[in-house]
Amino acid sequence: MALDAKRRLSTNSYQESTVPKNITASQKEIYFKLQKIKKDGGTLTSPVAQLGDQKLLATMTHEEKQRYIISLCEDYIKVKSIIELEQA
């Protein structure tokens, strides 16, 4: 944590590394992926394919896949709204 703080201080990049405090670990992962896509100038065309863990999906049963995709979509919608509020 100290090294991360020192890096932020030396590069003055506090805004990029701040993460909303009221999100879960899976939502944080989506947040970072969306920020990276935005920073790279890309677009999100298929949230499930681009944000989901394809290796994990390959090992799941049909019911587990459905639960995972629904959870992923809920997390994506929440994180997307947070990012939109940050930009406003």
Domain residue extents for the chain: 21-87
> pTM for the complete prediction?
0.74
- Farthest-apart Cα atoms in the chain, separation: 48
Per residue in 15-70, pLDDT tens? Answer: 555 778 889 999 999 999 998 898 899 999 999 999 999 999 999 999 999 999 99
Residues 50 and 38 sit within 8 Å (Cβ to Cβ): no
Q: How far apart are CA 4 and CA 33, in angstroms?
A: 19
Confidence of residue 85 (pLDDT cuts 50, 70, 90): confident
